[in-house]
């Protein structure tokens, strides 16, 4: 039972694109890695998941991945970000 506790889950190693090219491994951006973690999280039916990120990860790709899984998203905003609630521009 974890009612009043929060835990981190999983991690992915990030490698620069040049390193990936040199070692012939597929390159994944930091946002791609974050989306993978969100998609692979083994959620049970009776829990509400909150994804807490810094401003680097607050963007459409990560927010939509959370929305698709029914996760709550909490993230900082950079001063140069535009937010369009309900897709309004």
Residue 61's φ and ψ, nearest 5 degrees, are -60, -45
Give strand pairing partners of 6: none
- Domain boundaries defined on the chain: 17-87
Taking the C-alpha atoms of residue 87 and residue 52, their distance in angstroms, rounded to an integer, is: 22
Residues in the chain, pLDDT under 70: 1-3, 85, 87-89
Inter-residue contact 35 to 62 (CB < 8 Å) = yes
Q: What six digits make up the tokens of 86?
A: 């309900």
Taking the C-alpha atoms of residue 21 and residue 3, their distance in angstroms, rounded to an integer, is: 44
Write down the pTM of the prediction: 0.76
Q: What angle do CA 22, 23, 24 make, to 5 degrees?
A: 95
pLDDT of residue 10: 81
């Amino acid at each position: 039972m974890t009612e009043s506790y929060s835990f981190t889950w999983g991690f992915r190693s990030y490698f620069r694109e040049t390193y990936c090219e040199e070692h012939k491994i597929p390159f994944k951006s930091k946002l791609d890695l974050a989306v993978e973690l969100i998609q692979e999280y083994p959620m049970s039916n009776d829990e509400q998941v909150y994804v807490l990120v810094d401003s680097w990860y607050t963007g459409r790709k990560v927010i939509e991945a959370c929305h698709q899984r029914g996760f709550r998203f909490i993230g900082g905003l950079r001063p140069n970000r535009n937010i369009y609630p309900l897709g309004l521009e």
